[in-house]
Amino acid sequence: MASVSIENSVANAKQKRSKPSRLAPNYWPFVLPALLVVSAVIVFPWVFTLWMSVNSWTLGQPRTFIGFANYVRLAQDMRFWESLWHTATYTALSVVLPLFFGTLAALIFDAKFPFRGLLRGVFVMPMMATPVAVALVWTMMFHPQLGVLNYLLSFLGIGPQEWIYNQFTVIPSLVLVETWQWTPLVMLIVLGGLAAVPREPYESAEIDGANAWQKFRYLTMPMIAPFLMIAVIIRSIDAIKSFDIIYAMTQGGPGTASETINIYLYNTAFAYYDIGYGSAMAVVFFFIIIALSFVLLMVRQRANWSDMETK
Amino acid sequence: MATVNIQNIQKHYGAVKVIHGIDIDIADGEFVVLVGPSGCGKSTLLRMIAGLEEVSGGEIHIGSREVSNMPARDRDIAMVFQNYALYPHMTVADNMGFALKLKKVPAAEIQAKVKRAASILGLEALLDRYPKQLSGGQRQRVAMGRAIVRDPQVFLFDEPLSNLDAKLRVQMRGEIKTMHQRIGTTTIYVTHDQVEAMTMADKIVVLHGGFIEQIGAPLELYDRPANIFVAGFIGSPAMNFIDGWVEEGVFRTTKGLILPLPQAVAEKMGGRDLVYGIRPEHIRASTQGIEGRVTLVEGTGSEIFTRLDAHGEDIACLFRERFDVRFGDTVFIEIDPSKVHLFDKQTGRRI
């Protein structure tokens, strides 16, 4: 019995030796560059941020380990909760509005009409502009005295607005810029979806008695739902981490009326040099984004009729 | 159920005319097959009946209603498409009940009707599946189920079996015919497959180049084809056509082949240029008669298909009896004169 088991183990050892290991040294040269880059630009900053978040470290002063004190401080920081609310509002509006207008534009551009290609090209132009340039142009347009928007409103008999200079209108104004710039992206995604939608079911629906609205409601919408979900995911992640436009236009102001988490953590870390507290904020923000991504991916899975495989 | 009357129906795309004034009367409960080669206008005609294609001229009546310019949704018809055209994001049950849902039929009634149709088609176990989770045959059945649930006045089928493999096609052919016999709804069925047409139809309409070549019962078309096109299209393998003339009571070809004719015909047709038609299955193997060299042999077990070179004429033969015949062999064949078809060479019409 004992001899049998020894023979078996010897045979197993031989088998193992003959099979090349996945981590054999001859593979390392191929893996190493990627591993180095990923470690340097993703793993290291992450671990460093995590480490900083459990330290008290203001630039120019010695660092001390303080455990979860930064997180406790964060939970009690009203300015942080306020910025969280601003982020949520800004993100929600920056997803819903481009989604609505983008879908509408896609439906329009899906139909055939003269100069469609040219107009499509013009429509996607805002997407190509640099956010800071966009911010500067819109800042001028929003100017209460010199801005073109108030001038245009005067034709409609509406008095001058304060746009980004008013605490109540600043977020909607910023969302307007975001919507202007990113509606074309949603339009392109949905347009791709519409092109992929099979045409035959529409003939079936015609015979089944569906009118134009019913075809849109029961066929088009469910069939482009997976594409809408992709647009929602891209827009949500983009909007929640939006920084450039807000910083260039308002820097979180007036006061803290448009201060999102990103702006607040930037100010904390790089204006007040409180690196430890800023890092804790970054870690919390990271988990919020991860949680949001999971929710969106789950919803996407449910919306994706085209992934139904044969059981 | 309803009658369908098509009167002088025409279709043109700009200057191109694809259907040239067609008249068809379809009786209540009849199973009519529109058959013809690709591009003959059969699918266009069906789509005009469905309301998916505009009518350029003429009238279509379903029952007592003139529907030529009526939207498809108001025509009370159901259609089964070649590619099934199921709603990909809906389950089988939802696919089948969609038309009733649009009509705001109560949910319980929809469920009952879907169940009934599913039991007719053997789809009960698949009601919760999505089209992507079904095989081709199952999808085809769902498409039929969707039509049955509607309980329409007319069923339209647009080459519904083309995407199925040969075995499944035979099975589904039977199922469609059984369904028609059970439900009895007037049915218009488009196919390019003459076997489908012969096996399923009460009445066949043979179309060619946007014209009707012949309308009739399957056996009528087989036994008495109106012209060379119908004679060649109906029947598999296709009929043999040999050019020649009648002289001294027999049919002679330019290459010197002599073929038998019925006595009565032979006396009348002297001197005219004709086309001699004989179906491969109406040729018998014999120990004497027309001599030919075998150029092709295809055995299927139940029959042997051969091609012979007889005095330079290519003759296809289908033998039911089994015998040993090989490429290059010399064989003798006999033709039953009563099965011979003669066509005018100029007009192509039957004589």
Q: What is the pLDDT along chain A (311 residues), one digit of tens a residue?
A: 444 444 554 455 455 555 555 666 678 888 999 999 999 999 999 999 999 999 999 888 888 999 999 999 999 999 999 999 999 999 999 999 999 999 999 999 999 999 999 999 999 999 999 999 999 999 999 999 989 999 999 999 998 899 999 999 999 999 999 999 999 999 999 999 999 898 889 999 999 999 999 999 999 999 999 899 999 999 998 999 899 999 999 999 899 999 999 999 999 999 999 999 999 999 999 999 999 988 988 888 877 766 554 43
Are B94 and B217 contained in the same domain?
Answer: yes
Are B32 and B73 contained in the same domain?
Answer: yes
**CA dist., res. A167 & res. A303, Å (int):** 38
Domain boundary among B200, B233, B266: B233
Q: pLDDT value at position B278?
A: 95
Which residues in chain B have Cβ-Cβ distances shorter than 8 Å to A208? 73, 98-99, 102, 146, 150
Q: How far is B184 from chain A (nearest CA, A)?
A: 20
What order do you get walking across the sheet with B16-26 strand by strand?
B16-26, B4-13, B57-62, B65-66
Are B229 and B279 contained in the same domain?
Answer: no
- The answer as to whether B275 is a domain residue is yes
Q: pLDDT value at position A6?
A: 47
Are B190 and B281 contained in the same domain?
Answer: no
Give me the mean pLDDT over the B49-71 stretch. Answer: 94
Q: pLDDT value at position A23?
A: 60
Q: In chain A, positions 115-134, which contact chain B (CB-CB < 8 Å)?
A: none
- The answer as to whether B221 is a domain residue is yes
Are B194 and B283 contained in the same domain?
Answer: no
- The answer as to whether B349 is a domain residue is no
Q: pLDDT value at position A4?
A: 45
Q: pLDDT value at position A17?
A: 52
CB nearest B99 (choices: A198, A200, A209): A209
Q: Indicate the Cα dihedral angle A41, A44, A45, A49, nearest 10°.
A: 170
Whole domain around residue B175: which residue ranges? Answer: 4-233
**CA dist., res. A9 & res. A199, Å (int):** 63
CATH number of the domain within which B48 lies: 3.40.50.300
Helix (H) or strand (E) holding A210: none
Q: pTM of the prediction?
A: 0.77
pLDDT, mean over chain A: 88
Are B175 and B281 contained in the same domain?
Answer: no
Q: Is A212 on the interface with B (CB under 8 A)?
A: no
> Are the beta carbons of A210 and B102 separated by less than 8 Å?
yes
Structure tokens at A145: 């005295």
Are B72 and B92 contained in the same domain?
Answer: yes
> Are the beta carbons of A207 and B87 separated by less than 8 Å?
no
Domain boundary among B178, B211, B233: B233
Q: How far is B201 from chain A (nearest CA, A)?
A: 24
- The answer as to whether B84 is a domain residue is yes
Q: pLDDT value at position A310?
A: 40
Q: Which of B26-40, B46-60, B204-218, B248-262 has the lowest mean pLDDT?
A: B248-262
- The answer as to whether B306 is a domain residue is yes
Q: Is A224 on the interface with B (CB under 8 A)?
A: no
Q: Could you tell me the domains of chain A?
A: 72-307 (1.10.3720.10)
Structure tokens at B35: 């058959």
Q: pLDDT value at position A2?
A: 43
Are B176 and B290 contained in the same domain?
Answer: no
Q: Is A219 on the interface with B (CB under 8 A)?
A: yes
Are B251 and B165 contained in the same domain?
Answer: no
- The answer as to whether B184 is a domain residue is yes
- The answer as to whether B350 is a domain residue is no
- The answer as to whether B351 is a domain residue is no
Domain boundary among B177, B207, B233: B233
**CA dist., res. B245 & res. B261, Å (int):** 11
| Residue partners of A268: CB distance under 8 A and separation at least 6 | A274, A277, A278, A281
Are B334 and B185 contained in the same domain?
Answer: no
Q: Which of A200, A204, A213, A307 should one mutate to test binding to chain B, selecting the residue with the greatest count of B CBs within 10 A? A: A204
CB nearest B133 (choices: A205, A306, A308): A308
| Eight-class DSSP state of A40 | I
- What digits encode the pLDDT tens for the residues B262-283? 887 777 777 778 999 999 999 9
Which residues in chain B have Cβ-Cβ distances shorter than 8 Å to A216? none
Are B179 and B277 contained in the same domain?
Answer: no
Q: Is A197 on the interface with B (CB under 8 A)?
A: no
Q: Which of B86, B89, B126 should one mutate to test binding to chain A, selecting the residue with the greatest count of A CBs within 10 A? A: B89
Which residues in chain A have Cβ-Cβ distances shorter than 8 Å to B83? 200
CATH number of the domain within which B307 lies: 2.40.50.140
> Are the beta carbons of A200 and B146 separated by less than 8 Å?
no
Q: How far is B186 from chain A (nearest CA, A)?
A: 17
Domain count, chain B: 2
Are B141 and B262 contained in the same domain?
Answer: no
**CA dist., res. A10 & res. A4, Å (int):** 10
